[in-house]
């Protein structure tokens, strides 16, 4: 029985793996291939090594992708520190990841603020609307979560990942 459960998990992860790697930012996401560096360091793909995390050490897109890798690893405070290094922290993707990390740290209202800033910059960014809907669910605001689901439907229909994920969360919010 344990082997069947393990096999089912592996098959499920294989099917969902590409979805997890989707940053929703419209660009290529290499965060799933990014090696983990220790605290206070970031991955430099050109030199193929971890370097000290400091202003100007890498281009913003590389820092943003590394922040996503940290978020996926549950290293939310470190992700925020990397996002603090961005020359332009006010991009829809950077604000989305900042919102996600702060929400996961329990600062839901602060996270919502970042999500709303991201939406203001790119109203057609479905992933930020998914995460905003999840944040509203955490606050018990089903009406606002449903509004985000409808916005996602207008952006990409009912078969895109952001719509499907938020619809599942609305149907069963206990797993948020």
pTM: 0.79
Out of 89, 114, 137, pick the residue that ends a domain: 89
> How many domains does the chain contain in total?
2
Residues 84, 99: one domain? no
Residue 159 has pLDDT above 90, yes or no: yes
Residues 137, 156: one domain? yes
Residues 99, 169: one domain? yes
CA distance 129 to 118: 9
Residues 101, 163: one domain? yes
pLDDT, one tens digit per residue, over 21-61 is: 333 333 334 445 678 899 999 988 888 998 898 888 899 99
Residues 141, 78: one domain? no
Residues 78, 97: one domain? no
Range of the domain at 45: 27-89
């Amino acid at each position: 029985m344990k082997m069947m459960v393990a096999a089912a998990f592996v098959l499920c992860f294989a099917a969902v793996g590409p979805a997890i790697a989707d940053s929703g930012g419209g660009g290529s996401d290499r965060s799933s291939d990014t090696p983990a560096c220790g605290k206070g360091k970031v991955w430099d793909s050109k030199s193929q090594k971890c370097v000290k995390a400091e202003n100007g050490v890498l281009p913003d897109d590389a820092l943003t992708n590394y922040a996503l890798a940290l978020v996926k690893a549950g290293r939310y405070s470190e992700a925020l520190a990397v996002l603090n290094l961005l020359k332009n922290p006010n991009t829809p993707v950077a604000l989305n990841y900042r919102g996600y990390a702060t929400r996961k740290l329990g600062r839901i209202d602060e996270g919502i603020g970042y999500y709303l800033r991201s939406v203001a910059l790119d109203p057609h960014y479905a992933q930020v609307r998914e995460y905003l809907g999840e944040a509203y669910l955490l606050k018990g605001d089903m009406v606002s979560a449903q509004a985000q689901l409808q916005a996602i439907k207008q952006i990409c229909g009912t078969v895109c990942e952001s719509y499907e994920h938020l619809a599942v969360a609305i149907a069963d919010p206990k797993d948020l």
